[in-house]
Amino acid sequence: MHALVVYESMFGDTEQVARAIAEGLSTRAVVRVVSVDGAPTPVPDTVDLVVVGGPTHAFGMSRPNTRSSAARQDERAAGGTDRGVREWLAAAGPLHGRLAAAFDTHARTRLPGSAAGAIDRRLRHLGARIVAPAHSFYVTGMQGPLDSGERDRALRWGVDLAELAAAVPGRAG
């Protein structure tokens, strides 16, 4: 099985989660982990499982204006503000029958909204077969760092995703 983990990260926390998920996936898959800036469009036919994640901005996936706002708040904000997960998904092409999962990072709050939920809906709209419910990983504040234990939780979720994907009847690869 071949997996592609695509992430958007401004302050490095979502990247840490993506890399931990990829490490977990690597127990049963050949994995490529890539920032949304370098993610392939369309998704190559050789990819069986697509895992997509980003930070929660304004109750959902980031937009150019929320990325610009985050970049103005801290010079550590990585990358540009032109392409986020939202824009990548719009260009990713159909994912008919491909396996997929979504994740996000956000602070522990009672506020509604989640980038993972929005990513999950987009993946379904593109025709992907979702192998696990959208998953959130927590940061201590908008600029991080990750809450204690979240990297390990992401690693375990990656292992779980690999096992779930391998058990899907009729999956490609």
* DSSP reduced 3-state for 56: coil
Based on its alpha-carbon atoms, the radius of gyration of the chain, rounded to whole angstroms, reads 15
- Mean pLDDT within 147-164: 97
Per-residue model confidence (pLDDT) at position 157: 98
Mean pLDDT of the chain: 87
Q: If residue 121 lies in a helix (H) or strand (E), which one and from where to where?
A: helix 115-125
Domains recognised in the chain with CATH numbers: 2-167 (3.40.50.360)
Reported as half-sphere exposure (CB side, CA atoms, 13 A), residue 43 has a value of 32
Q: Is the pLDDT of residue 172 over 60?
A: no
* pLDDT value at residue 31: 98
Check pLDDT > 60 for residue 81.
no
Q: How far apart are CA 59 and CA 113, in angstroms?
A: 4
Q: Residues 28-48: pLDDT tens digits? A: 999 999 999 999 999 999 999
pLDDT at 113: 76
Tens of pLDDT, residues 94-118? 999 999 999 999 887 766 678 899 9
pTM of the full predicted structure? Answer: 0.89
Of 10-24, 92-106, 132-146, the one with minimum mean pLDDT is 132-146
pLDDT (0 to 100) of residue 173: 46
Q: Helix, strand, coil proportions of the chain in percent (round to 5)?
A: 35, 20, 40
| pLDDT one-digit tens code per residue, 46-78 | 999 999 999 886 566 665 655 666 566 655 555
